[in-house]
C-alpha cells in the first residue's frame, strides 16, 4: 500500500481503531512515518493525535498545516483538547482555540489555568447533572427529551443541590431498573466522593482504582461540580505512574522507543554520571587499602562479591519500599516495623550466604580466616542494605524528593562503601 | 476503640468503604489484626475479603468459621467468588459452593475449570443481553419490566443473534438519548470486539486500556457470549502487571509488606543466590589477572568502576526493553532497529565517560596509559551493555521465559565479565 495510493490508505485506516493507528505510527521508523503521514494527511483525526505518544505527537502536529490541526481537534472532548493544546506553541494554541465554540473555548482555557498535574487540568467538563430532588421518572424524561445534548459517553447522573454542589451520583443501570416514583437520592451509590480541582490527578486515579469508581466528580473550592475524571483516563494515569516508577528506578527518566538517539542518550546520561561519582567513592575506599591488597591479592578477587550482594539486596528492599510508598502501603504508622523487618530479612539471608561464601572463600584460597572475613562482611552488608533500602526512600519522600528517582544512587553508594570497607577493613585487621 | 467495644467498632466500620477496611487490615501489625478480627468477626463481609491482599486473605479466611465464610461470600459477583474460592482447600471450597444458589454454583464451577490466568477464570457472568433486532423502545421496556433481575453494576447492553453469538454492544447512555423506534444495531459502539474464554486475561486488560472500553465481552469457542471483564478489574490487572515487572526486575518476586519475615526471606533468596553465582563468575575473571593486579594495585582500585558503569547502562537498556515487550512496543518488526539504537546510545555515552574517566585515571595515578586502558574498556562495556540489555530480554521472550524475571542476572553477568576482562586484559597487554 505504501506506493502512493492515498485513497486505498484512507479507506483502510477508516476501519481501524485510532489507538491502533497511533500504535502503528509509533512502531515504524522515522522515514516510513513521514511518507505515511504525507500520504494520509487529510484523514488524520483528533482521536489518533490524542492516542499518540507525547514526543511523537509534537513531531506530527508540527507537520500539519494549522487548518488541518484545527479540523482534527474540533470533535474531541474537552480533556483531550487540553491535553493536545498544552504542549503547543502560543501561536498554534491560539489558532486551535479560535476554532472552538465559545463554550468549549472557555472550558479549555479554564482547564489550562489549573496546575499541570491537577484534576482540573485533566477533567472532562462534559457530564450530566440532575437536581437531587428529582425522581427516577423525571430523570428519564429529562434524558430522553430532545432539548439537551448529552455527551458521547456517560455512565452516571450527578446529583446536585440548588447551589450546584455535588451531593451524590446514580448509575444509569440503577435508573433503568428502578420505578419512576423513587427519588434519585434513594438509589445513589455508596462509593460517592468528590475531588478538588487542585488535587493531584494521580491521587484521583488511585482513588478510582481503590474504590472501583467509574467516574470521579471534580468540584471547585465552593464544592460546585465542574467536571469528571473518567475511569479510562484514570487507567492510563495508573499505568503511567507504575511505568514512571520503574523507569526512574532504572535511571532512565521518561522516554520511549520512538525518541531520537540523541534524546535517549541525554536521558540516560545523568544517572550514569551519578553512578560514576558513587563508583569513584567506592574506589576511594579501596585505595585506602592498597597495601593490604598488594599483600593479599585474593582480596581483590573476592571484594566485588560482597559489594554486589549488598547492592542486590539493597535494590530489593528499595524497590519494595518505593512501590509501597506509591501505593500508600508504607506510612509513618508502620515505617519502624517495616525497617525492622527488612533488617531481619537481611540478617537471615546474610547469615545463609555468609556460610556459603565463607566456605567457598576458605576452600578456594586455602585460608580459613579469609572465609571468616568474607562471611562477617556479608552479614554486615546485607543488614545495612535492608536498612538503607528502606530508610533512604522514606527519608527522600519526607523531604519531598521523588524516592523512585534518587534512592538507587544513595543505596548503591552505601552498600558499595560499606561492603568494601567491611571486607577490606576486617581483612587488614584480622589477616595481616 | 481497640479495648473491646465490638458494637462501636461495627457501627464505625459500617460507614467505611470495604477497600479502606482491607487496607487498614494490611497496614496494621499481626497482633492488632488478630484482635481486630476476633472483635469484629460477625461484620466481616465478602467485599472486604475480596479487596484483601492474597496472602493476608488466606490468613483471614482460615480464622473464620465455615458458616461465617459462607455468609460473607453469598452476596458477591461470580468473578469475586471465584477469586476467593480458587485459593481455598477443597473442604472449604465445597462448603462455600454448597451455600450458593444452583445457578451461581454452576457459574463458579465452570469458571474454575478454565486455566488460571484466562479470561474465563476472571470474567463476571452477570451481564445484560438483548436480541440484535430489538429497537431502543423494546430494550427500555425490557430493562424496566419487573420480571428480570439486573446486575448491580452494568453499563452496556450486549447484542446477540439468535444463536447467542455476541455481535455488538450499546451503552446505556446512548439508549437513553435515542428515540424509541431506532434499532439497537444502529447505535452500537465502534470499539466492540470479543475475547475468547481461553485468552490471557492480561491481554484483555491491555485491550480494554488500549481501546478505552468499559466492558469486554468474553465468548466461548462457538462465539457465544458467556461473560464480561469489567474495566475496574482490568485496571487492577494492569497495575498488577506493571508492579510484577518492577518487582521481578528487582528480583523480589511476589510479596507485600504484610507477608511474614520468613516468607519475604524466602522470596528474596533465589535472586541473591543467582547473583552470588554471577558474582563468582566475575571473580574468576579477576583471578585470571592476579599477577597483573599484584604488579599494579591501581587496577584493583579502578576495576569496579568499569563493571558498575556497564551494569547500570545494561539495566537501563534492559528496563526499557522489558517494558516495551510488555506493552508490545517492541516487536520483531523493529527489534533490529532498537538494538542498533541501544548500541549507538551506549557508544555515545561510553565515549563521553571514557574521556572523563580516562582523565581521572591518568591524573589520579599519574599514568596516562592507565587512562587510555580505562577509557577503551569503558566504551567496550557500554556498547556491550546496550546490546545485551536489549538482546537478552528479546531472546528470553522468544524462548518463552519471562524477560522481567531472568534478564537482570544474565545482563549483569555479561557486563561484569566483559568489564573486568576488557579492563584487566587491556592493562595486562598494554601496561606491563
When CB atoms are compared, the residue of A269, A303, A309 closest to B275 is A309
Average pLDDT of the segment spanning A330-341: 87
Q: Decide if A319 and B140 are in contact by the 8 Å CB cutoff.
A: no
Count of A-B CB contacts under 8 Å: 311
CATH number at residue A42: 1.25.60.10
- Which tens digits make up the pLDDT trace of A234-292? 888 888 888 888 888 888 876 666 678 888 888 888 888 988 999 999 999 999 999 99
- Answer whether residue A82 is part of any domain: yes
CATH number at residue A297: 1.10.357.20
How much of chain B exceeds pLDDT 70, in percent? 96
Distance between CA atoms of residues B305 and B293, nearest Å: 15
- Answer whether residue A367 is part of any domain: yes
Using alpha carbons only, what angle is made at residue A388 by residues A385 and A389, rounded to the nearest 5 degrees? 75
Distance between CA atoms of residues B305 and B303, nearest Å: 5
Q: What confidence tier does B29 reach under pLDDT thresholds 50, 70, 90?
A: confident
Domain boundary residue, one of A113, A145, A171 = A113
Domain boundary residue, one of A55, A81, A113 = A113
Measured between beta carbons, the chain B residues lying within 8 angstroms of A282 are 304-305, 308
Q: Any residues with CB less than 8 A from the CB of A146 and at least 6 apart, and which?
A: none
* Whether residue A148 sits in one domain with residue A289: no
Residue A68 has pLDDT above 80, yes or no: no
Identify the pLDDT of residue B131.
93
More confident residue, B203 or A1: B203
Average pLDDT of the segment spanning B265-270: 87
Identify the pLDDT of residue B43.
64
* Whether residue A357 sits in one domain with residue A214: no
> Among residues B178, B176, B400, B326, which one has the least CA distance to residue A130?
B176
Average pLDDT of the segment spanning A90-94: 78
* Whether residue A167 sits in one domain with residue A306: no
When CB atoms are compared, the residue of A272, A301, A334 closest to B349 is A272
Measured between beta carbons, the chain B residues lying within 8 angstroms of A236 are 209
Distance between CA atoms of residues B234 and A236, nearest Å: 12
Q: Is the dihedral of CA B170, B176, B182, B183 positive or negative?
A: positive
Q: Decide if A265 and B211 are in contact by the 8 Å CB cutoff.
A: no
Task: Work out whether strand B225-230 and strand B215-219 pair parallel, antiparallel, or are unpaired.
Answer: antiparallel
A interface test, pick of B136, B232, B403 with most A CB neighbours within 10 Å = B232
Number of domains in chain B: 3
Measured between beta carbons, the chain B residues lying within 8 angstroms of A27 are 329, 331, 333-334
A interface test, pick of B244, B301, B366, B413 with most A CB neighbours within 10 Å = B301
Q: State which H helix or E strand residue B286 sits in.
A: helix B261-287
What is the residue range of A226's domain?
A: 129-231
- Answer whether residue B330 is part of any domain: yes
How many Cα atoms sit within 13 Å of A224 on the Cβ side? Answer: 6
CA A173 from centroid of its chain's CA atoms: 33
When CB atoms are compared, the residue of B27, B171, B211 closest to A329 is B27
Q: What confidence tier does B3 reach under pLDDT thresholds 50, 70, 90?
A: low
- Answer whether residue B52 is part of any domain: yes
Q: What confidence tier does A192 reach under pLDDT thresholds 50, 70, 90?
A: confident
Is the Cβ–Cβ distance between B169 and B156 less than 8 Å?
A: yes
State the nearest Cα–Cα gap between B264 and chain A, in angstroms. Answer: 7
* Whether residue A109 sits in one domain with residue A31: yes
- Which tens digits make up the pLDDT trace of A177-186? 888 899 999 9
Measured between beta carbons, the chain A residues lying within 8 angstroms of B16 are none
Average pLDDT over chain A, rounded to whole?
Answer: 85
* Whether residue B416 sits in one domain with residue B301: yes
A interface test, pick of B146, B179, B276, B379 with most A CB neighbours within 10 Å = B276
At A419, list the grid cell.
561492603
Lowest mean pLDDT among A226-240, B1-15, B275-289: B1-15
- Answer whether residue B244 is part of any domain: no
Identify the pLDDT of residue B424.
94
DSSP code for A255: -
Identify the pLDDT of residue A380.
95
Average pLDDT of the segment spanning A91-102: 79
Identify the pLDDT of residue A255.
67
DSSP code for A152: S
* Whether residue A108 sits in one domain with residue A18: yes
Q: What confidence tier does A13 reach under pLDDT thresholds 50, 70, 90?
A: confident
Identify the pLDDT of residue A32.
80
Average pLDDT of the segment spanning B314-331: 87
Identify the pLDDT of residue A391.
94
Q: Decide if B232 and A238 are in contact by the 8 Å CB cutoff.
A: no
* Rg over CA atoms, chain B: 29
Cα-flanking dihedrals φ and ψ of residue A257, to 5°? -65, -15
Domain boundary residue, one of A180, A210, A231 = A231
Identify the pLDDT of residue B61.
78
Identify the pLDDT of residue A4.
60
Task: Work out whether strand B195-196 and strand B215-219 pair parallel, antiparallel, or are unpaired.
Answer: parallel
* Whether residue B300 sits in one domain with residue B413: yes
Task: Work out whether strand A166-171 and strand A195-196 pair parallel, antiparallel, or are unpaired.
Answer: unpaired
- Which tens digits make up the pLDDT trace of B366-375? 888 999 999 9
* Whether residue B418 sits in one domain with residue B286: yes
More confident residue, B70 or B426: B426
Is the Cβ–Cβ distance between B174 and B140 less than 8 Å?
A: no
> Among residues B119, B190, B188, B123, which one has the least CA distance to residue B159?
B188
Q: Decide if A271 and B318 are in contact by the 8 Å CB cutoff.
A: no
Is the Cβ–Cβ distance between B119 and B204 less than 8 Å?
A: yes
The SS3 of residue A167 is strand
Average pLDDT of the segment spanning B97-108: 82
- Answer whether residue B305 is part of any domain: yes
Cα-flanking dihedrals φ and ψ of residue B336, to 5°? -70, -40
* Whether residue A266 sits in one domain with residue A404: yes
Identify the pLDDT of residue B346.
93
Q: Is the dihedral of CA B394, B399, B400, B402 positive or negative?
A: negative
DSSP code for A48: H
* Whether residue A55 sits in one domain with residue A146: no
Q: What confidence tier does A345 reach under pLDDT thresholds 50, 70, 90?
A: very high
Average pLDDT of the segment spanning B408-414: 88
Q: Any residues with CB less than 8 A from the CB of A401 and at least 6 apart, and which?
A: none
**In B155-308, where do the E strands start and end?**
156-160, 166-171, 195-196, 215-219, 225-230
- Answer whether residue B176 is part of any domain: yes
How much of chain A exceeds pLDDT 70, in percent? 96
Q: State which H helix or E strand residue B129 sits in.
A: strand B129-131
Distance between CA atoms of residues B41 and B35, nearest Å: 10
Is the Cβ–Cβ distance between B427 and B373 less than 8 Å?
A: yes
More confident residue, A387 or B249: A387
* Whether residue B99 sits in one domain with residue B137: no
Distance between CA atoms of residues B100 and B97, nearest Å: 5
> Among residues B215, B214, B210, B213, which one has the least CA distance to residue B227?
B215
Average pLDDT of the segment spanning B107-135: 88
At A301, list the grid cell.
578477587
Residue A388 has pLDDT above 80, yes or no: yes
Residue A394 has pLDDT above 90, yes or no: yes
CATH number at residue A149: 3.10.580.10
* Whether residue A285 sits in one domain with residue A334: yes
- Which tens digits make up the pLDDT trace of A20-38? 888 888 778 777 877 777 7
When CB atoms are compared, the residue of A279, A357, A412 closest to B276 is A357
Is the Cβ–Cβ distance between A313 and A389 less than 8 Å?
A: yes
Q: What confidence tier does B2 reach under pLDDT thresholds 50, 70, 90?
A: low
- Which tens digits make up the pLDDT trace of B179-218? 889 999 998 887 788 999 999 988 899 888 888 888 899 9
- Answer whether residue B123 is part of any domain: no
Distances (CA, A) of A40 to A7, A51, A230: 8, 17, 31
Amino acid at each position: 500500500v505504501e506506493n502512493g495510493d492515498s485513497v486505498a490508505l484512507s479507506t483502510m485506516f477508516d476501519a481501524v481503531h485510532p489507538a491502533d493507528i497511533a500504535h502503528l505510527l509509533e512502531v515504524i521508523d522515522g522515514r516510513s512515518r513521514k511518507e505515511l503521514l504525507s500520504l494520509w494527511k487529510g484523514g488524520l483525526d483528533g482521536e489518533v493525535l490524542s492516542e499518540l505518544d507525547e514526543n511523537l505527537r509534537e513531531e506530527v502536529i508540527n507537520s500539519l498545516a494549522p487548518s488541518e490541526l484545527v479540523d482534527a481537534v474540533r470533535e474531541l472532548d474537552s480533556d483531550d483538547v487540553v491535553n493536545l493544546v498544552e504542549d503547543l506553541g502560543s501561536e498554534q494554541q491560539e489558532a486551535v482555540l479560535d476554532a472552538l465554540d465559545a463554550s468549549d473555548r472557555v472550558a479549555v482555557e479554564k482547564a489550562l489555568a489549573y496546575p499541570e498535574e491537577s484534576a482540573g487540568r485533566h477533567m472532562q467538563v462534559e457530564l450530566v447533572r440532575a437536581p437531587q430532588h428529582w425522581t427516577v421518572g423525571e430523570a428519564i424524561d429529562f434524558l430522553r427529551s430532545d432539548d439537551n445534548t448529552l455527551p458521547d459517553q456517560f455512565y452516571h447522573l450527578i446529583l446536585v443541590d440548588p447551589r450546584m454542589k455535588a451531593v451524590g451520583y446514580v448509575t444509569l443501570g440503577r435508573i433503568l431498573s428502578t420505578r419512576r416514583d423513587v427519588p434519585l437520592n434513594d438509589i445513589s451509590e455508596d462509593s460517592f466522593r468528590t475531588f478538588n480541582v487542585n488535587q493531584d490527578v494521580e491521587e484521583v486515579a488511585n482513588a478510582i482504582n481503590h474504590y472501583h469508581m467509574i467516574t470521579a466528580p471534580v468540584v471547585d473550592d465552593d464544592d460546585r461540580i465542574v467536571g469528571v475524571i473518567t475511569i479510562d483516563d484514570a487507567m492510563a494515569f495508573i499505568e503511567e505512574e507504575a511505568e514512571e516508577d520503574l523507569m526512574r528506578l532504572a535511571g532512565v527518566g521518561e522516554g520511549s522507543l520512538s525518541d531520537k538517539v540523541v534524546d535517549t542518550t541525554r536521558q540516560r546520561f545523568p544517572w550514569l554520571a551519578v553512578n560514576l561519582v558513587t563508583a569513584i567513592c567506592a574506589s576511594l575506599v579501596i585505595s585506602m587499602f592498597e597495601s593490604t591488597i598488594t599483600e593479599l591479592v585474593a582480596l581483590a578477587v573476592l571484594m566485588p562479591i560482597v559489594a554486589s550482594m549488598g547492592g542486590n539486596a539493597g535494590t530489593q528492599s528499595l524497590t519494595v519500599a518505593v512501590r509501597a510508598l506509591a501505593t500508600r502501603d508504607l506510612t509513618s504508622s508502620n515505617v519502624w516495623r517495616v525497617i525492622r523487618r527488612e533488617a531481619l530479612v537481611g540478617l537471615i539471608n546474610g547469615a545463609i550466604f555468609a556460610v556459603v561464601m565463607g566456605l567457598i572463600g576458605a576452600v578456594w584460597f586455602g585460608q580459613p580466616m579469609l572465609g571468616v572475613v568474607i562471611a562477617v562482611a556479608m552479614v554486615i552488608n546485607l543488614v545495612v542494605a535492608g536498612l538503607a533500602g528502606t530508610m533512604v526512600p522514606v527519608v527522600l519522600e519526607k523531604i519531598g524528593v521523588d524516592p523512585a528517582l534518587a534512592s538507587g544512587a544513595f543505596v548503591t553508594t552505601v552498600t558499595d562503601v560499606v561492603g568494601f570497607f567491611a571486607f577490606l577493613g576486617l581483612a587488614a585487621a584480622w589477616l595481616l
